[in-house]
Amino acid sequence: MGKIKKIGVLTSGGDAPGMNAAIRGVTRTALYYGMGVVGIRYGYHGMIHKDFVGMKANSVSNILARGGTILKTARSKEFMEAEGRRLAYENLKAAEIDAVVVIGGDGSLTGARVFCDEYYDIPFVGIPGTIDNDIYGTDYTIGYDTALNTVVEAVDKIRDTAGSHNRLFFIEVMGRDAGFIALSSGIACGAEAILIPEAHGQISNLKAYLQKDFKRNKSSNIIIVAEGDESGGAFAIAENVKHDFKDFDVRVSVLGHIQRGGTPSAHDRVTAGKLGFAAVEALMDDQKSVMVGYHNNEIDQVPFRKVIKLKKKVDPDQLQMVEILSI
């Protein structure tokens, strides 16, 4: 691989608090080492449609506290096709972009891996950016900590009204395929039960708990439900419970996209800055088709093929802990 003179940086897929800190880390590290930086707006869509913008040090001033992404983001069906990736490659070559840093989740990293397999002369390095924290090879993804704190703050407020009215609240949080937000927020909030996609048969256990303990011990109950739970989400589960427990005062709250927004936490800002710095250094070290992540509080490099092939797992012992602590 020849010397890298210009780096492209993009954000792709769902936005996550802290992405701007990662953009800043990539941009200023590359500039420090004498490289040019091009921001690719709207992710892979912008790569295909030449939506490029030159980046200077002041381009990333005063963005650490901003949620979302200054480079915008999008999902690109065109990039899933070989013709779309060919156009993207030609545009990168025409703009003299020698390497690309991709900030996003599993879909974004999958796209980067496919591109690298087809066009190996432009190296890609990934940074895990998703509130779901479901990327293999890293303990934390950018945005997870902020989203977790957003959920905890909201659930704490809901518990105030639940306790005042002796209500049973089902609170749905994001996590279509992974229950990390639900599990951690449930533990932090003292939820009586947590339903996640990774666990099966939870609805029967929930009903057994409600039958035994709800009226006897609790002035309120909080049930955290990941949106991808096999029982169909918070509304479906609430209807199921109301059918069997007609005397319960049941309510549902779906937190939705509030979990993606807001000022990034200090943890997300620090994590994002370090990973942005590490991504540029990885490219300078002739690395390609890898993701930089955090493992045991150290920066690690994980090949895209492992990131995509392997699934990050929740700790089943934590579910048992929730059951024990809810007595």
Q: What is the pLDDT of residue 162?
A: 80
Give residue-wise pLDDT tens across range 106-138.
Answer: 999 999 999 999 999 999 999 999 999 999 999
Give residue-wise pLDDT tens across range 39-91.
Answer: 999 999 999 999 999 999 999 999 999 999 999 999 899 999 999 999 999 99
Fold of the CATH domain 6-143+264-309: Rossmann fold (3.40.50)
Tell me: pLDDT of 246 over 70: yes
- Cα(67)–Cα(78) distance, integer angstroms: 27
Tell me: pLDDT of 201 over 80: no
Q: What is the pLDDT of residue 157?
A: 94
Q: What is the pLDDT of residue 302?
A: 97
Tell me: pLDDT of 230 over 90: no
Q: What is the pLDDT of residue 319?
A: 80
DSSP string, 67-110: -S-TT-----SGGGSHHHHHHHHHHHHHTT--EEEEEE-HHHHH
Q: Which amino acid is at 160?
A: D
Q: What is the pLDDT of residue 219?
A: 58
Tell me: pLDDT of 1 over 80: no
- Cα(283)–Cα(3) distance, integer angstroms: 10
CATH architecture entry for 145-260: 3-Layer(aba) Sandwich (3.40)
Cα Rg, the chain, nearest whole Å: 22
DSSP string, 175-234: -SS--HHHHHHHHHHT-SEEE-TTS-SHHHHHHHHIIIIIHHH-S-EEEEEETT-TT-SH
Q: What does the pLDDT average to over 27-46? A: 98
Give residue-wise pLDDT tens across range 131-188.
Answer: 999 999 999 999 999 999 999 999 999 988 887 787 789 999 998 788 999 999 999 9
Q: What is the pLDDT of residue 218?
A: 60
Residue 107: alpha-carbon gap to chain centroid = 11
The pTM score is 0.93
Tell me: pLDDT of 215 over 90: no
Q: Do domains 6-143+264-309 and 145-260 have the same CATH topology?
A: yes
Q: What is the pLDDT of residue 217?
A: 59
Classify 196 in phi/psi space as left (phi over 0), alpha (psi -120 to 50) or beta.
beta
**Among candidate residues 245, 212, 226, the one with its CA nearest the CA of residue 181:** 226
The residues carrying an active-site annotation are 132
* Domain spans, the chain: 6-143+264-309, 145-260
